[in-house]
Amino acid sequence: MSFFDRHVFICCNQRDNGDACCNALGAGVMFDYAKARVAELKLNQPGMVRINKAGCLGRCLEGPAMVIYPEAIWYQFVDKNDINEIIESHLVNGVPVDRLRI
């Protein structure tokens, strides 16, 4: 049995050489928002949802990117509206958000 029902990894990689990276597209800010929103909804309890920063997930040109396990569903997101939709649809209701899937 997994410790969490769902484990969310948000790429917050920052490249210093100017190459494409998720953090340059606002991933760090969206990570903080997602973590706070999941806590606000009380989904961050043991056995529920864990939000983690990740290094490069290898989807730099499609970023900012996240992956949710155990389903291994990859998303691209842009803003708080996208994060809210992923949380509500996927994390709360178990329905992946097709329009944001990579």
What is the domain count for the chain? Answer: 1
**Strand-strand pairing, 49-54 and 65-69:** unpaired
Is residue 40 a contact partner of residue 83, using CB atoms and an 8 Å limit?
A: no
Q: Does pLDDT of 3 surpass 90?
A: no
Report which secondary-structure segment, H or E, holds 16.
none
Kindly report the pTM of this predicted structure.
0.94
Task: Answer whether residue 1 is part of any domain.
Answer: no
pLDDT at 91: 98
CA distance 15 to 33: 22
Q: What digits encode the pLDDT tens for the residues 17-28?
A: 888 899 999 999
pLDDT at 18: 80
| Nearest by Cα to 26 from 8, 18, 14, 17 | 14
Return the CATH number at 14: 3.40.30.10
Q: What digits encode the pLDDT tens for the residues 56-99?
A: 999 888 889 999 999 999 999 999 999 999 999 999 999 999 99
Domain that holds residue 28: 6-64+73-100
